Structure 1
Amino acid sequence: MKDIQKITISIKKSIKDALEIFGSHDGLRLLVVNDEQENFIGIITDPDIRRGLLRGLRLEDDISSIINRSPIVAHINTPREELLHLASQHNIHEIPLKNDEGKIVEIVSVANLIKPTLYPNQVVIMAGGLGTRLRPLTDTLPKPMLKVGSKPILQIILERFKQQGFRNIFLCVNYKSHIIEKYFGDGSKFGLHITYIREEKRMGTAGALSLISNLNDDFIVMNGDILTDIDFTKMLHFHKQNESDATMGIREYSTQIPYGVVNTNGTKIISIEEKPSLSFNVSAGIYTLNPKVLQLIPKDEFFDMPALFETILAKNDYNTFSYLIEDYWIDIGRKEEYDRANSEIEED
């Protein structure tokens, strides 16, 4: 990432000034141009300068006439795949990224996007549940090992983390854990490093974290029965950007009331809504946490993630955020959802 201030130029500056900035940075392809109020107005590339000089402009002339005022720009949270698509579509090598205020905060290089990025952040997957709602399917297999298509659910989850650059995995296991451990081993055949956290009793989705001693950076926690296309790197970036201590992935859940709802004021009818839909934000079973929250988890006790967030919210010195997941997401915990996941795999 380049220092944006060092490659930003004011609209009042000369072509010579722009050339001097280009000359002082190896491999620099564009300059960010701001107006006098520090508002972003466009970019200048080296070809823009050459074309201007060929038109008869002088080095002392200001840069206003050679600015590209409609460049390809993306938001800082744009997924990697979309950035690559933009670059390919418009045949460009670098893309300025703006924040919510419209200021350019980063220049992303397509060459860097192509390189695989590895994240040191650890991933904790809760894979020890009994899967009682999926019986008799889970009488012989732990729920994460049920297949969707040709692969176990847990393998699909792990492969998606690997694709996004996460290699360090903790699997919290309990019910029929020997099946999971035999299948995945130490993770090396999947290009991962897997550490098993063996729960001797049910610990809950947060309690199992108290058994892990080396969570030293922001880490991701996910239930082992969820299939999703979420960009985990984007959620991690959101978490860090907001200096969050605990970020909960949420989804919008809608339900329809099967009756006409009568709104009244006392005994007087005000209005009638026929079978209205209600929407709520619900937990998606995916979290990004800072290690400082671990001190709030009791040792050797059952402790669920909602209880952890309630504990955090009761304190004043923790930052807590929600992250809306709009990507494909399905919870395999119920038979009808498991069947739906398999039918969608077949349709693909």
Structure 2
Amino acid sequence: MSYDWRKTLVMPESTIEEAIKVIDSEALRIALVVDQGNRLLGTVTDGDIRRGLINQLPLSAKVSEIMNSSPKTTELGTPRPQVLKMMEERRLLSVPIVDDGLLVGLETLQDLIARPKFNNPVFLMAGGFGTRLRPLTDNCPKPLLRVGDKPILQTILESFVEVGFHQFYISTHFMPEMIENYFGDGAKWGVDIHYVYEQEPLGTGGALGLLPADLPDIPIIMMNGDILTKVDYVQLLNYHKELGALATMCVREYDHQVPYGVVEGDGHKITGMVEKPSYKFFVNAGVYVLNRSLVTTVAKNQKIDMPTLLEQRIEKGELIAQFPVHEYWLDIGKMNDFERAQKDFVEAFK
């Protein structure tokens, strides 16, 4: 169901009659009471209104007289499986989402229950040394470095959980125990997490050979564990299936401006000059969808990079598709990327 929680907002001085109109006009069956700064003050439901009328309050009375001033809320970023569990236990139809007291959304039971569930495995690559981020990675694997208020890999995991993925595999090598201790078996997020361990680095594609042989014969999503993105994973999966591709690589448009005038020539003759030209091309965005038939071609402990693996199939005439990513995307490879991620996080992921 499509809804806009912002249409449920009322001020504390609004009347009970105005709250009734809001509740009747929206499908959310609640009015959210906020102050001028959008700080949540309380909630009003049909039950609150009826209790007020029973106590002989007129419809012209302020909603502040009937609102629940201590409503149950959930903090922004709380895994949705936890929210669903809490709502079912307390028999709540909706719960306001707050960020340090400020109202930022409304979660509904209907939306949580209706969310589709995808059985496609998600394979997160978290074995790198993060050499270019030293000294931050001297005692911490890069995927556990915090951007905002949580590790990079947690933000990635939750972006998949939010849209219905629940089967995860994480490839580790550098300080694997720290990653496994943090994420455990995934119960905290209501998902299943399994681990594969690279005894020695196998390249960006070699860890595929460590996945269980009994994975379902459906596409898997593979993603580097140092990327922050808002790419639509469901749309990506559908795109891959519609094209009938063996593999789909997410690509990002990259602009490069030459800081000099470029001279074009033919032998000793200048044929043209272009002042500081700008070139656009696609670069690998580190997110892939792979058919099971491709995954099984990687032998156990085989060293291979993803570009090499895909190029081999291209040479055989098989379809390797590209999926342009126009959403937010950042590869946290260097220190300036990490610093940028800190600045971007609040706007992009809050």
**What TM-score, normalized by structure 1, do the two folds share?**
0.65
User: How many angstroms apart in 1 are the aligned matches of 2:112 and 2:151?
Assistant: 30
2:325 and 2:279 mapped to 1: Cα distance?
18
Q: Bigger shift: 209-218 or 302-311?
A: 209-218
- Return 5+ residue gaps in structure 2 as ranges: 1-109
Corresponding residue of 1:168? 167
Show CA shifts across 1:304-326 (max 9, x none).
1011101111213x321111111
1:289 positional shift: 0.5
Deviations 1:59-89 (A, max 9, x none): xxxxxxxxxxxxxxxxxxxxxxxxxxxxxxx
Q: Which amino acid aligns with 2:199?
A: E
CA distance in 1 between counterparts of 2:259 and 2:233 reads 37
* Residue aligning to 1:134: 133
Report what 1:121 is aligned to. Answer: 120
Give the deviation of 1:267 after TM superposition. Answer: 2.8
Alignment of 1:1-348 (within 5 A): 115-213=114-212, 214-216=214-216, 217-316=218-317, 318-346=318-346
Question: How far, CA to CA, are the matches of 1:289 and 1:112 in structure 2?
Answer: 29
Q: Residue in 2 aligned with 1:10?
A: none
Give the superposition deviation at 1:341.
Answer: 0.6
Q: Percent identity?
A: 45
* SS in structure 2 of the partner of residue 293 of structure 1: helix
Distance in 1, Cα, partners of 2:139 & 2:259: 38
CA distance in 1, matches of 2:117, 2:346: 31
Counterpart CA distance in 2 for 1:208 and 1:265 is 47
* Count of aligned positions: 237
Counterpart contact for 1:124–1:219, Cα < 8 Å? yes
Aligned to 1:80: none
Post-superposition offset of 1:167: 0.7
Matched to 1:117, the amino acid is P
Distance 1:182 1:113 in 2: 28
- TM, length-normalised to structure 2: 0.65
Distance 2:295 2:192 in 1: 22
CA distance in structure 2 between the partners assigned to 1:117 and 1:127 by the alignment:
27
- 1:347 to partner: Cα distance: 5.4
SS at match of 1:196: strand
Give 1:81's aligned residue: none
- For residues 187 and 200 of structure 1, what CA distance do their matches in structure 2 show? 23
CA shift for structure 1 position 301: 2.0
Supply the RMSD in Å over aligned alpha carbons: 1.7
Q: Deviations over 1:41-63 (max 9, x none)?
A: xxxxxxxxxxxxxxxxxxxxxxx
Deviation of the 1:177 alpha carbon? 0.9
SS of residue paired to 2:312:
helix
Report the 3-state secondary structure (helix = DSSP H, G, I; strand = E; otherwise coil) of the residue aligned with 2:155: helix
Paired with 2:189 and 2:297, the residues of 1 have a C-alpha distance of 34
How far did 1:268 drift? Answer: 2.9
Q: CA deviation at 1:242?
A: 0.8
Q: Deviations over 1:279-324 (max 9, x none)?
A: 11111000000000123323312111011101111213x3211111
Gaps of 5+ in 1: 1-110
C-alpha deviation, 1:278, in angstroms = 1.3
- Are 1:250 and 1:323, in contact at CA under 8 Å, matched by a contact in 2? yes
**Cα 1:259–1:117, aligned 2, differ >3 Å: closer, same or farther?**
same
Please report how far the alpha carbon of residue 264 of structure 1 lies from its aligned counterpart in structure 2 after TM superposition. 2.2
**C-alpha distance in 2, partners of 1:176/1:198?**
10
Measured after TM superposition, the shift of residue 266 of structure 1 is: 3.1
Q: 1:117 to 1:228 in 2, by over 3 A?
A: same
- The answer on whether the counterparts of 1:126 and 1:171 sit within 8 Å (CA) in structure 2 is yes
Q: Which aligned runs of 4 or more in structure 1 are off by greater than 4 angstroms?
A: 111-114
Q: Give per-residue Cα distances to partners, 1:7-62, cap 9 Å, x unaligned.
A: xxxxxxxxxxxxxxxxxxxxxxxxxxxxxxxxxxxxxxxxxxxxxxxxxxxxxxxx
